[in-house]
Structures are given as structure tokens and as C-alpha cells.
A and B are shown apart, each in its own frame.
Chain A
Amino acid sequence: MKNLIKTICSISVFAFILASCGDGGKKASTVDATKKQGFVKCGVSQGLPGFSNADESGKWTGIDVDVCRAVAAAVLGDANKVKYTPLSAKERFTALQAGEIDVLSRNTTWTLERDAAIGLTFVGVNFYDGQGFMVRKKTGIKSVNDFKDGVKVCTNTGTTTELNMADFFKSKGVKYEPVVFEKADEVVQAYDSGRCDTYTTDKSGLAAQRTKLTKPDDHVVLPETISKEPLGPVVRQGDAKWEDVVRWSLNVWIEAEEYGVNSGNIDAMKDSKNPAIQRIVGAEGTKNGEALGLDQEWSYRIIKQIGNYGESYKKNIADTGILPDRGPNNLWTKGGILYVPPVR
């Protein structure tokens, strides 16, 4: 009997410890936590050239990766202090909600449902995309209006793509068969082997995945865009300080291009008389860093280590042949729609 009492006592102690663990979730700001652990926890894709892709040595590059690098440069002073977690479309939000990652920068479309209902906040847009279709050239299909009943469509599960194509085919009155895979590579393989007649995803994704097909030249991306896909970084809701840091790291990165500040000329720009440029390079007397709870040179480090948005775009997306034409992702002053609030 004594044993029983002892057992109950020890179980109670164990339960108490368990209970106190549970409260550990309510911790301080992510900014402080990031400084303490010394790296930014960043969620990326499992491999999408131009956006987030790892090379043979495990080095991540891409325009989504650069958002995380910018945050690391701003908060920790070193753009390389990022821990990347590759996530499938299905896993990404749960990973962010659970605190496994602190920034999700994984070609994620900003929608009302995601922003409002699942406890997440979109901080901005780093790529304006839209959903398109890829078909075999030999079919002679020239437009999305040429699709007829029975068409088999390959795509990824857990994406807005799945919903857009349902809406699209419904509005056209075409009966189609969706073949949905969890991994992008499986979609590419299925389309390539002829299991599907068309492959649909964001147009940037189509351009990037086309390079993985056995004969890329046999395939063509149709001209129409059937949806708006503003892609951007996401953080957890309810941590305003961290949200601001990520949002303004993104904005200053884009604004630097607007004012012609890049990684090459930023040291020379320190002497600029233009107050906007002075704010970007973090000259004496500017208060931006202080307002964000960072030091004065936060934005200087971002541009110095990563370059501005234009440099990232050129290196990752234009020079790799994915989308040489910037289209909507050009600055508003150059015919695009990239327009960020002023960094002041």
C-alpha cells in the first residue's frame, strides 16, 4: 500500500512538471528569442529554383531565401545566420503555428482565409505571381479556352492552385480530373510521363519546373493567368515587434532599389545628401532602427550583405532564365506594381 501512495505522489509530481512545461509556450518576443538562439528559424520550400532551392553543398539561394537572410542581417548582423526548414505546402502553416519556424518565406499566397482564420499574418509581398497552365506543344493548344471535357490536370495538394482551378473549370463548364500530389517533383514526373494533359501552378513555378522536364522545349506555358497570387513572407499573429522587423526588412530591401542603393555602392552612398538614402544606409541621426528595437545599421547590413531587391531578382530569377522579364515585379516607377510604404 505504501508503494501505491508513493506511486501516486510521484505521478502527481510528474503531472505538475508536465503542466508547467505547457506554460512555457507563452514566451517573450520572437526578436529576443532569435537574438538569444543566434539564428533565424526560416521555413522554405523543398526546392523551387529561383525562390528557395538548395545546391549540392546544402547552400540555400532564392528570392524567398533572401527575405530570411535580410531578417538575419537586420536582427543578428549576419545574413548567414539562418536555419532553413524545408516544408511541403501541407506542413508549412502548422510549422509556423507551432513555433518550429519564425518566418515562413515559401512562395505562399496571401489570402483572406489564411490571414484571418489560421492565426497568421502576411507582412508584404516579395513576388507578384499568377496561376497558369503548361501543355505539350504538339497538342496545338493555344489558350486555356481550348481545354475540353476529360482533361487531366496535375498539380500540388494544399495550395490555392487547387481551389483556383476548381473555380476556373467550373466557370468554363469543363469537366476535368485533378491529379494532386504532395511533392512538386512527383507532379513534374507525372506530367512528364503523360499521366496528365496539363500542369498548373503559379507561372513562376511553371517556368522553374519546366527546366526539370526531359525535353523542356516540347512544352509551352499558356498566355492566360487565371488568378492573382501575391507571394510573401508570413509570421505568427500576435507578435507585433517581430512582425514589424520582418515587414520593414522586406520593405527596405525593395526601397533600396528604388533609390539606386545596392551592395556595391552603399558605402559611397553613406555621404549622400538625400534624406531617404540616408535613412536606408542608417546615417547619423536616423531613428528607424531604434523604432524597430534594432540598432542604427540594420538596413545598411541588409543591402551590404544581400543587395537590393533588383539584385536578388536578377541573380535568382532573371539570370537563371526562369522569368527574364520582370513584368509586374518591376518597381512602380518602371511600369511594375512593386510599391512599398516609405521607410521613414
Chain B
Amino acid sequence: MSFLQNKIEKIDQYLSDHPKVKFILPQALLLVFIFSIIGYFSFNASSNLSARGIDTGFGFLKNKASFDIQFSMIEFDSSMSYARAYLVGLLNTILVSAIGILFATLLGFFFGILRLSSNPLASGLATVYIETLRNISLLLQIFFWYFTVLRLLPSAENSIVLFDFVYANIKGIYIPKFVWTNLNYFLYGLIFTFICIYFFNKYANNLRERTGKQLPKFSISLGLLILIPFLIINIFGVGLEFSYPKLDIQMGIANYIGGVSIIPELIALAFALSLYTSTFIAENVRAGILGIDKGQKEAAASIGLTNTQVLRLIVIPQALRIIIPPTTNQYLNLTKNSSLAAAIAYPDIVLVFAGTALMQTGRAIEIVTITMLTYLSLSICISMFMNWYNNKVTLTER
């Protein structure tokens, strides 16, 4: 025992003589330990899988999927590969997350500001909205919209018609499809317009700083946005037609053909995700605005800024610094929560890839790994973008 004691003391002595080693050694050992654990688990998994005669590897991604997907933004049919099915699922996940983030942000800002309103009816309404929706489990809300609300819609023969061109029935909502001719000229024109507007604004700001002369920036920008596309449409013959959904009854089955169909699964999921997440964003917005010192507004008013200017130039930029970091978390949550799609047949990555594809190939480890890495990358992309935006709006000390 004293031998061991002796050894330990020697090591101790050595380490205190070499502070660099003392600094690096524990970290190196920990790293080796972590890697050996990971290595051990992968080895264990692969040897057990081969012992049980289970095929492994990522080669299956090239194989024919041989199943179909209800809703896809890119072309897909059963003769395409599992990799393609993965892409379809991924795009559907991104679609519902993007819609969710957009509406959650708009609703969140609206209700966050409304809750601060001095009108008790308005602020009361916002409080009820926020407290109800954020305290009910998200899965239940998805079920509510899908199994309760959307199932109340009539059958295809008796669709609800809005503005004569939107048809809502239990099989989905059908809207007209844009059919463009010479769309590319229009898009180039639009890009050109935005460049013009950008340079005009730059010029106007410059002018104001040099001479103090205020140009009506907003009206002129709007004018450009209308004028240039109008010229382009007439010069290059850009045409826009609508393909309207038409009711088609064959063998007693009524369906709408033509137009764009929005499946009820997407509507229910986007609805539930937006409403649920908007409540958290609303609270962030309220916290952000309340976090701005009253003196800021008073000081701004005292130098003659209008109410709108106070809000736009003083309050919001400062409030954003408080609002953005927690809102990033909400965006990440929303994206990850979109995996609840599997419960209501919305073909997102979990249903298509970690569901059907996993079942048909039996490659559980590979598919779950790919799916986890996908969510990880999506989340990292969102937080990188939000961090970049956050850096842009942080207070730059001069």
C-alpha cells in the first residue's frame, strides 16, 4: 500500500513541476475515455447486429423505395430511391416549420403588444389567448384541429366556397394555381427593382446626412416597386393565368382537380404549431418591451420624434435584443415539435423516413441516426441565422 502511496506522490510531484501537463492531462484522458465509450458502443452494436443476421450499412438509400407519399414538393413516386423519399420528408418538415415560424412570429408580436395595451378588453383577450394555448399539450392541440375542427368540414360535393375560387372540404383546401408565361423575366425584373430601391434608399440617406433634406423614401420606393414590374410585364409579355380547381365526380367519388390542394394534415399541424409557439413568443415580446426603460421613450419624445419614430427607432431595436435569444429557442422548439406530424399522417421526415422507410428496410440504427443528425443540422442552421441576426441588432458601443 505504501508502495502505491509512494507512486501517487511521485506522480503528484511530477505534475506540480509541469503545470502544462497538469493542465492538459485530465482533458486528454477524458477525451480518450469518451471516444473509447463511443467506440465500444458502436463495436458492440455492429457485432451484435451481425451476430443476429441483421443487414447494416447505408447502401439501402440507393434502393427503390416502392411506396408513395401523399404530399411532396418535388416529384416523387414509388420507383424512386429511399434517398429521394428522405428529401421529400425533409422538405415537408422544412415547409411546415417555415410556415409555423412565420405565423408564430406574426401572432406572437401581435398578442405580445396587445397584452400591453391600456384597453382592458384587448389586454384581457391577449391574456386569455396566451394562457389557454400555452398550457395545453401540443399533441392535444394538433388532435383538436385535425380530428375535431377540420373533420367538421363538409364532403367534397358540398364544399364551402370562399370568394368563388377557394374550396374547403374534408379532403383539403383547394386554391387556384398560378400559371405563368415568361415568369423568368418577371423574376429578373423583381430582382432589378429591389436593387434600384436599395440604391435609391442609400442615395436618400446620403442626401439627408449631407443637406438635411428629407425625401419621401417610402412613397418613391413603393412607386418603383409598382412601376418597374408593370413596365416589364408589358414589354416582355409576362402573362399570369389561374388554373381553378374543378369538381370532378367519377364513379361516385368527388374530388377537386387542378389548382393547388393543401392537405388538411398540413393545415392542422401548421395551425397548432403556430398558435402554440406564438404564445411563448408573445411573452418574449412583452418582456422585451417592458425591459426598455421608460426614460428612453421620454428622451426620444423630448427631442421631437413622433410616436411611430419612437417605437421604430428607439423601442423596437432595443427590445429586439431582449426578444431574439429566447425567440430563437422557440423557433428551435417549433421545428423539433413538427415531428409530431407523424400522429396525423402529415408526411414529414419522421413519418416518411423514420416511419415507413425504417419499417420497410429494418435499418433502425442507420435511419434513426440520419434523422437525428437532420434535426441537429436544421436546429444549428436556425440558431446560426438567429445568432447572426442577434449580432446585427445588439447594441454597438461607440
Interface, chain A (partner B; CB < 8 A)? 1-2, 4-5, 8, 11, 15, 18-19, 22, 25-26, 89-90, 93-94, 97, 113-114, 117-119, 136, 138-141, 146-152, 157-159, 162-163, 165-167, 169-170, 176-182, 186, 189-190, 193-195, 197, 236-238
Say yes or no: B257 contacts A150, CB within 8 Å. yes
Query: In the complex where A148-B253, A182-B355, A189-B147 touch, is A1 in contact with B22 (Cβ < 8 A)?
Result: yes
Q: Chain A residues near B49: list those with CB within 8 A.
A: 119
Q: List 24 A-B contacts (CB under 8 A).
A: A4-B26, A15-B36, A18-B40, A97-B364, A114-B362, A118-B54, A119-B49, A119-B52, A119-B362, A139-B252, A140-B252, A141-B253, A157-B359, A158-B358, A159-B359, A162-B68, A162-B360, A163-B66, A177-B71, A178-B67, A178-B70, A194-B171, A195-B171, A237-B53
Please determine whether A186 and B345 come into contact, CB atoms closer than 8 angstroms. Answer: yes
Smallest Cβ-Cβ distance to A147: which chain B residue = B251
Please tell me which stretch of B7-15, B182-190, B213-221, B292-300 contacts chain A, meaning at least 4 of its Cβ atoms lie within 8 angstroms of it.
Answer: B7-15
CB within 8 Å: A-B pair count: 144
**Is the Cβ of A5 less than 8 Å from the Cβ of B44?**
no
Query: Contact: B54 with A90, CB < 8 Å?
Result: no
Asked if B52 and A19 make an inter-chain contact with CB atoms under 8 angstroms apart, the answer reads no
Given contacts A1-B15, A150-B257, A197-B253, contact A97 B151 (CB under 8 A): no
Which chain B residue lies CB-closest to A166? B78
A147 to B26, CA, bound (A): 69
Q: Nearest chain B CB to A3's CB is how many angstroms away?
A: 10
Contact A11 B52 (CB under 8 A): no
Return A163 CB to nearest CB of chain B, in Å.
5
A150 partner residues in chain B, CB cutoff 8 A: 248, 253, 255, 257
What is the CB-to-nearest-CB distance from A23 to chain B, in angstroms, rounded to a whole number? 9
Contact residues in B for A2 (Cβ distance below 8 Å): 8, 12
Q: Please state if B356 and A180 are interface contacts (CB–CB under 8 Å).
A: yes
A178 CA to B11 CA in the complex, in Å? 68
Interface pair B70/A22, CB less than 8 Å apart: no
List 4 A-B pairs, minimum CB-CB distance, nearest first.
Answer: A139-B252, A118-B362, A158-B359, A119-B54
In angstroms, Cα B12 to Cα A170, docked, is 74
Give Cα A274 to B46, complex, Å: 52
| Chain B neighbourhood of A151, CB < 8 A | 253, 255
For residue B342, CB closer than 8 A to chain A, the reply is yes
Q: B256's closest neighbor in chain A, by CB?
A: A150
Judge whether B379 is part of the interface by a CB distance below 8 angstroms.
Answer: no
Report the separation of the CA atoms of residues A85 and B349 in the bound assembly, to the nearest whole angstrom: 27
Question: Which of A152, A165, A237 has the most chain B CB within a 10 Å cutoff?
Answer: A152
A114 to B252, CA, bound (A): 38
Known contacts A176-B68, A238-B52; is-contact A148 B251 (Cβ 8 Å): yes
Given A19-B40, A157-B356, A179-B345, answer yes or no on A97-B52 (Cβ-Cβ < 8 Å): yes
- Chain B min CB distance to A286 (Å): 34
Extra contacts, 17 of them, besides A167-B78, A238-B53 (Cβ < 8 A), are A1-B15, A5-B8, A8-B29, A25-B48, A141-B253, A150-B257, A158-B358, A163-B67, A166-B67, A179-B265, A179-B345, A180-B70, A181-B344, A181-B345, A182-B343, A186-B344, A186-B345
**B364 x A94 contact (CB < 8 A):** yes
CB distance from B44 to the nearest CB of A (A): 5
Q: Chain B interface (Cβ within 8 Å of chain A)?
A: 8, 11-12, 15-16, 22, 26, 29, 33, 36-37, 40, 44, 48-49, 51-55, 66-71, 77-79, 147, 151, 155, 170-171, 248, 250-253, 255, 257, 264-265, 342-345, 347, 351, 355-356, 358-362, 364
A90 CA / B66 CA spacing, docked (Å): 17
Chain A residues with CB under 8 A of B29 = 8
Nearest A residue to B12 via CB reads: A1
Give min CB distance, A298 to chain B, whole Å.
Answer: 27
Q: Cα distance A22–B53 when bound, in Å?
A: 18
Q: Which of B22, B78, B170, B355 contacts A157 (CB 8 A)?
A: B355
Q: Please, which residue of chain A has its CB at the minimum distance from the CB of B362?
A: A118
Q: Which residues of A contact B347 (CB under 8 A)?
A: 180
Q: How far is the CA of A159 from the CA of B355 in the complex (A)?
A: 10
> What residue in chain A is nearest B78 (Cβ atoms)?
A166
Give bound CA distance, A90 to B342, whole Å.
Answer: 12
CA distance A110 to B252 in the complex (A): 36
Which listed residue (B8, B79, B351, B358) contacts A180, Cβ 8 A? B351
Q: From B147, which residue of chain A is reached at the shortest CB distance?
A: A189
The reply to whether A158 and B251 form a contact with Cβ atoms under 8 Å apart is: no
Query: Which A residues are in CB contact (< 8 Å) with B343?
Result: 182
A157 touches B351 (CB 8 A): yes
Residues from chain B with Cβ under 8 Å of A113 in the complex? 360, 362
B40's nearest neighbour on chain A, judged by CB, is: A19
Q: Is the CB of A237 within 8 A of B52?
A: yes
Question: Known contacts A138-B252, A167-B66, A180-B70: does B54 contact A152 (CB below 8 Å)?
Answer: no
Given contacts A5-B11, A189-B147, contact A146 B251 (CB under 8 A): yes
A253 to B129, CA, bound (A): 61
Complex CA distance for A156 and B155, rounded to whole angstroms: 23
Query: Which of A15, A22, A157, A189 has the most C-beta atoms of chain B within 10 angstroms of its own C-beta?
Result: A157
Give Cα A237 to B361, complex, Å: 17
